[in-house]
Structure 1
Amino acid sequence: MLLTVSKLTTRIVQLFEQDDLLRDVQVIGEVSNWRRAASGHIYFRLKDEGATINAVMWKSHALAQSWLPKEGDQVIAHGYVGVYPESGAYQLYTNRLTPAGRGYLYAQFEALKERLRAAGLFDEARKRPLPQLPARLAIVTSPDAAALRDILRTLTARWPLVEVILFPTLVQGIDAPQRIAAAIAAANRYSNEVAPIDVLILARGGGSIEDLWAFNDEQVAIAVAQSAIPVISGVGHETDFTIVDFVADLRAATPTAAAVAAVQGRLDHHAQVMARMHTLHRRIRQRLDQERRTFERLLMRLQRIHPQRQLDQARLRLDERERRLHWAVQRALAQRGERLRAAEQRLEALNLLRVLARGYSIVQRMDGSVVTDPAMVHTGELLTVRSAGGEYRVEVKGEEASQ
């Protein structure tokens, strides 16, 4: 049978298409000659110790990959085997690539985790506290994700006053790490240039380790660490841990849990406000009591040192001294009156007129001297005689010696 090249190739293509085994295969092998074309398609080879097969992954499938291998990685390629007519060569058309065994991904995860830990990105000291009542909140996630709806529903129920700004991004695929990092950077620019954002939620719903692999990317981890906005990670389910969980300021088990952590519930807030009001009232009462006691002490001190009080006390002291002075004057006058009366009595007793009234007389010489001895006078001398009735002069006629 004589066939043209085209007919032969077409026949071979039909044979491949009719073989159910080749329509859905999983091939394990080592990646080599890895190349990404400008078109976005990826070309590589899979090999083992006995054979090599060419492989291709179209751009649409490549963009859906959360993880891409590098040269020398062991992978499982999912797809089908077909013939490329232009070259007549068969090749593996790959629609999904996964690591050959979870141990490989785990080793990558642990290696990056240790490197970032050594760089200090996991240190508790760099974790920032979250505001209790954020006014503005950013969400970095897929706009079509169920995680976004869960977050918005939770925020509305717990604290509807918060303003929510979505920064949409891919959360899965080869371009997801770059897009996530760019969305975080955009949120920070918005916070700096437009309006401050209090907290950022980085979220994605659950999935396989490959689906979540974008959140194990170093580029995303660094973007979270460099964010000036506190970051809550809510990636996957409760049992899922990614690198961003260790870098974020707070790790929440799910997107819904991230929303719960971001804002307080209205009832919780009301209870907290009431508790603080009670504490405030108690402290105000204590302060008022303290200030009242202080005021009373100061008032008593002021009353003691008040000028009017001092003046009143001075007046009392002056009145007391005046009373004592009056009493002292009266007493002194009384004492002096008594002494005067005694002196008068003594003077009265010694009064010359009283003596003369009893019949005595006083004889004085002309020079006024009192004659107390007859020898003081001479015969013919004029003398003055004072008696109770008056004075008269006498002349001495002679001298006689006293018997």
Structure 2
Amino acid sequence: MASDFPSNADDASLVAKPYAGDNAEPLTVSEISQALKRTVEDRFGFVRLRGELSGVKRAASGHMYCALKDEKAVIDGVMWRGNTGRLPFNPEDGLEVVASGKLTTYPGRSKYQIVIERMELAGEGALLALLEKTRARLAAEGLFAEERKRALPFLPRTIGVVTSPTGAVIRDILHRLADRFPSRVIVWPVLVQGQGAADQVAGAVRGFSALPEGHPGRPDLVIVARGGGSIEDLWSFNEEAVVRAIAECSIPTISAVGHETDTTLADFAADRRAPTPTAAAEMAVPVRAELAATLADFGARKKRAILRPVQLGRERLEARADRLPAKDALLEPQAQKLDDLAARLQQGLRDRASRGRERLSELRLSPALVNGRLREERGRLAGIRLAPALLERPLAERRERLAALARLTEQLHPDRPLQRGYVRVTGPDGRTLTDKAAAAQEAALTLNFRDGALEVHTGDTRPARPAPKPKRKPRTSGTAAAQDDLFG
């Protein structure tokens, strides 16, 4: 009968064995890790954490790893590639953010972490701090210097407008331009708020700037416009990509973002800042005459009517896509494990190379080691004995193969058919002749019979083919017959 469970280390046995009242099998490390993972994920299905970013880094796979900390604690965080592409700002160390996601564990390192699905700046104060930090850095590069500013064209023939095609901004600009001076306007439709807006605005400005001189679509002036809103709504125009695109644009630009009290980094980079989009239109062209704004309104309504079915279809598609299981959910832990193994592989290779160098430096060859190895090999050679059967068997096999070849040679000999009454014809050079044309060109031939050879003449010593001979006269009985032509 098993004894009671030991109460102290002194009663522990060498081999694990069951104890009285113990009906639980020992768990493996993987089993307890999975149990902890399920417990944490079930208990904390979705949480929101506020803390300061630390150790932000992006892996080559596109995933982002970081840590959230406050004055007393720290927790690791990971954000998968699909979610990092939707971040409205660039995470940096020291930013205070609010991260939303689910808690889970990473068994590979026995730690818990938060899988971040969404990240936001913690209040307007953090947003303003990030804005000031970005402004100071870009100003130090000279992007806002006054000597970079250019004069606006007095009468632009074509005006490029970068804004939303469905908002009120484009209608205000077109209306004011029509009232003051009708001009050709090219609208580059973009998002002006939310995910991807900064990239679209920067791409539109660079697209206008990349058009060559003389191109019919190249504008003489570019207006970057958006209506008013909060600092969060206007944040796309504070992104570094938009500021650099405006500063590097080869065409004079006007920034008309928000109302008079709104200021963005795009205003500092542009050649001229307008308090409102309407004021930007007034800066762009001089006054001429009033024109009706009906056409511009019809154009805007047409665009809304065309885009409405597309928008409805996109909403239906997104609603159906939300019901599908996330395909990346199964691959995300493996992706993190792959990143961890890649880092461990690099460290392992470095450690292995270091150990190899140490072993190589310690390896020394001595005469005693070489002489000992030589004696061992000599002993092995002396112990080898050759049996006669090892030599006789290959010789017998080769003797049988030689006899078979001799029999085959005898059967294939060219004079073998002569025993059956055939004749082999050869020329003066001993070459066997196989057709009449070749034999007719020789003056003498040799007929090889079974019991000997017979020399014959063809009757024509010319090397060319002999001409047809006249018919022979019948032989007379009283004269000796001449030798007949062999080929008649």
TM-score by length of 1: 0.52
- State the match for 1:163 in structure 2: 184
1:106 aligns with 2:128: yes
State the partner residue of 1:65.
Answer: 87
SS at match of 2:85: helix
The correspondence of residues 53-92 of structure 1 with structure 2, limited to 5 A, is 53-71=75-93, 73-84=94-105, 87=108, 89-92=111-114
Residue 149 (structure 2) aligns with? 126
Shift of 1:17: 4.5
Deviation at 1:226, TM superposition (A): 3.3
Unaligned runs of 5+ in 1: 271-403
Measured in 1, the distance between the counterparts of 2:160 and 2:189 equals 10
Aligned CA-pair RMSD: 3.9
Q: How do 1:230-379 residues align onto structure 2 when only pairs under 5 Å count?
A: 230-255=252-277, 258-259=280-281, 261-262=283-284, 267=289
Q: Is the 8 A contact 1:66 1:172 kept in 2?
A: no
Mapped partners of 1:35, 1:24: distance in 2: 22
The alpha-carbon distance between structure 1 residues 68 and 190, as it changes in their structure 2 partners (threshold 3 A), is same
Whole-Å Cα distance in 2 between the matches of residues 208 and 60 of structure 1? 27
Distance across 2 between alignment mates of 1:92 and 1:206: 36
Match of 1:283 in 2: none
**Hey, what's the Cα distance between the residues in 1 that align with 2:175 and 2:197?**
30
Q: How big is the shift at 1:25?
A: 1.2
* In 2: Cα distance, 1:170 partner to 1:252 partner: 20
Any conservation in 1 of the 2:169–2:277 contact (CA below 8 Å)?
Answer: yes
Q: How far apart, in 2, do the equivalents of 1:193 and 1:58 lie?
A: 45
Tell me the secondary structure at the aligned position of residue 129 of structure 1.
Answer: coil
Deviation at 1:200?
0.8
Instruction: Decide whether aligned partners of structure 1 residues 213 and 43 sit closer, same or farther in structure 2, where only a CA change above 3 A counts.
Output: same
- Residues 295-327 of structure 1 deviation map (CA, whole Å, 9 limit, x = unaligned): xxxxxxxxxxxxxxxxxxxxxxxxxxxxxxxxx
8 Å CA contact 1:199–1:231 kept in 2: the answer is: yes
Q: Distance in 1 between matches of 2:169 and 2:212?
A: 20
Distance 2:175 2:191 in 1: 27
Q: One-letter code of the match for 1:157?
A: H
**Conserved 8 A contact 2:238-2:264:** yes
Aligned partners of 1:64, 1:266: CA distance in 2, in Å?
45
Answer yes or no: is 1:25 the counterpart of 2:48: yes
1:260, distance to aligned residue in structure 2 (A)? 5.5
Q: Distance in 2 between matches of 1:38 and 1:170?
A: 28
Which of the residues 225, 246, 259 maps onto 1:203? Answer: 225
Aligned mates of 2:211, 2:250 — CA distance in 1: 11
Q: Which of these residues, 165, 171, 183, is aligned with residue 153 of structure 1? A: 171
Shift of 1:90: 2.7
Query: Is the CA contact (8 Å cut-off) linking 2:47 and 2:103 kept in structure 1?
Result: no
After superposition, the Cα gap between the structure-2 partners of 1:152 and 1:90, relative to the gap in structure 1 and judged at 3 Å, is same
Residue identity opposite 1:186 in structure 2: G
Tell me the percent identity.
Answer: 36
Pair 16,155 (structure 1): closer, same or farther in 2 beyond 3 Å: same
Partners of 2:28 and 2:229 in 1: how far apart?
50
1:139 is aligned with what amino acid? Answer: V
CA contact (8 A) 2:222 2:252 kept: yes
Structure 1 letter corresponding to 2:267: D
Question: Separation in 1 of the partners of 2:57 and 2:251?
Answer: 38
* Counterpart residue type for residue 221 of structure 1: V
Say if 2:183 is the partner of 1:183: no
1:137 Cα shift? 1.8
* Equivalence for 1:135: 157
Q: Give the aligned residue type for 1:203.
A: A
Q: 5+ unaligned residues in a row in structure 2: which ranges?
A: 1-23, 293-488
**Is the partner of 1:64 in helix, strand or coil?**
coil
- Structure with bigger helix share is 1
* Secondary structure of 1:164 counterpart: strand
Distance 1:84 1:114, change over 3 A: closer
Contact (CA 8 Å) 2:177, 2:282: kept in 1 or not?
Answer: no
1:194 is matched by which residue type in structure 2?
A: H
Task: Output the CA distance in 2 between the equivalents of 1:258 and 1:9.
Answer: 62
- Whole-angstrom CA distance in 2 between matches of 1:206 and 1:64: 23
Change over 3 Å in CA distance of 1:82–1:206 after alignment to 2: farther
> For the Cα contact (< 8 Å) 2:169–2:226, is it kept in 1?
no
TM-score (norm 2): 0.44
Structure 1, residues 343-400: CA drift from partner, whole Å, max 9, x if none? xxxxxxxxxxxxxxxxxxxxxxxxxxxxxxxxxxxxxxxxxxxxxxxxxxxxxxxxxx
Task: Say which is worse superposed, 170-179 or 75-84, in terms of deviation.
Answer: 170-179
SS in 2 for 1:53: strand
Provide the C-alpha distance between the structure 2 equivalents of 1:154 and 1:51, rounded to a whole number of angstroms: 52
Distance 2:260 2:40 in 1: 45
Shift of 1:89: 4.1
Seen in structure 2, the aligned counterparts of structure 1 residues 45 and 236 have a Cα distance that, compared at 3 Å, is same
Match 1:43 to one of 65, 68, 85: 65
Change (3 A) 1:24 1:248: same
How far the C-alpha of 1:55 sits from its partner, in A, is 0.7
Measure the CA separation in 1 of the matches of 2:206 and 2:184: 19
Superposed displacement of residue 79, structure 1: 0.8
In the alignment, the residues of structure 1 paired with residue 135 and residue 95 of structure 2 have an alpha-carbon distance, to the nearest angstrom, of: 22
* Maintained 8 Å contact 2:57/2:64: yes
Structure with more contact order per residue of length (Cα contacts < 8 Å, sep ≥ 6): 1
Question: Which is greater in Rg?
Answer: 1
Q: CA deviation at 1:241?
A: 0.9
